[in-house]
Structure 1
Amino acid sequence: MTNPSVETVSTGADKAKLAVAGLLVVGAVVAFYALGKQDLWLRVLALLALLAGAVVVFFTAEQGKALIAFGRDAWRELRKVVWPTRKEAMQMTGYVFAFVVVMALFLWFTDKTLEWLLYDLILGWKR
């Protein structure tokens, strides 16, 4: 199976849209702090309005459209997933907990064996 080559062509208009979106985000932060002497609701309104403008401009660019297409594809794939039943989920959770307990006991036993071997037998350090 061959992988098709994906080419992304970014036009000057798309670059300009991304630049405008970035400037709107920066402008939102600047406006929030520049309006420091105003009421909080006005500062938040200016921040949200400029951020909403940035989002709108971003989604009109090719990268924004690609993000929307990716989201649609991801949602379509998510609907194809066969989710486990409650019983299956509980069984798998039980298996995981049992495995964790067994591994904890194994690691504890290994640690104590190596501690006994090194400190008591080889080095002769009695505690």
Structure 2
Amino acid sequence: MADKIKLLIAVLLVIAGVTGFYFFDGAPTVVRVLSVIAGVVLGGLVAGLSAPGKHFFRFALDSRDEAKKVVWPTRKETIQMTGVVMAFVVVMALFLWAVDGVLLWLVKLAMGQGS
């Protein structure tokens, strides 16, 4: 129950920040934007104190660690694979153009308009 209350407070803080943006209509834009940022930051801090927030934070850290393990291709590999993809696209486009032409010819032949 305490986690639900914390999440509710977090949502209310975000809503308060957005409401502050419209409440300070005559204020400088910096004040209005800081109102939203403060609401989101405070809401995030309160949500981070709940069990789901802690699970999410742990998940985010694990995701960052997994992203560091990714082996990115070299420039040469990237250029080679891009060339392979482009060649495949051209071949597939020519194939589909040929199939479309044959089907068009067959339909015209079936309709009695063939030459």
Q: Same fold (TM over 0.5)?
A: yes
User: Aligned AA for 2:77?
Assistant: E
User: Which one of 62, 84, 97 corresponds to residue 51 of structure 2?
Assistant: 62
Q: Which residue pairs with 2:94 in the alignment?
A: 105
Question: Could you tell me how far apart the structure 2 residues matched to 1:126 and 1:18 are?
Answer: 71
Cα 1:40/1:75, change in 2 over 3 Å: closer
SS in structure 2 of the partner of residue 83 of structure 1 = coil
Deviations 1:77-100 (A, max 9, x none): 222222222111111111111111
* TM norm structure 2: 0.90
Deviations 1:10-32 (A, max 9, x none): xx111111101111111111111
Question: Could you tell me how far apart the structure 1 residues matched to 2:5 and 2:25 are?
Answer: 30
In the TM superposition, what is the alpha-carbon distance from 1:39 to its structure 2 partner? 2.5
Cα 1:45/1:79, change in 2 over 3 Å: closer
Identity %: 46
Unaligned runs of 5+ in 2: none
In the TM superposition, what is the alpha-carbon distance from 1:126 to its structure 2 partner? 5.8
Deviations 1:26-53 (A, max 9, x none): 1111111111122222222222212211
Alignment RMSD (CA, Å): 1.6
Q: Which residue pairs with 1:53 in the alignment?
A: 42
Q: Which residue pairs with 2:2 in the alignment?
A: 13
Q: Which residue pairs with 1:9 in the alignment?
A: none
Question: Could you tell me how far apart the structure 2 residues matched to 1:77 and 1:40 are?
Answer: 39
Question: Could you tell me how far apart the structure 2 residues matched to 1:67 and 1:19 are?
Answer: 17
Structure 1 or 2: more helix by fraction: 2
Question: Could you tell me how far apart the structure 1 residues matched to 2:32 and 2:68 are?
Answer: 40
Question: Could you tell me how far apart the structure 1 residues matched to 2:104 and 2:51 are?
Answer: 61
Matched, 1:122 2:110: yes
* TM norm structure 1: 0.82
Unaligned runs of 5+ in 1: 1-11
User: Aligned AA for 1:98?
Assistant: A
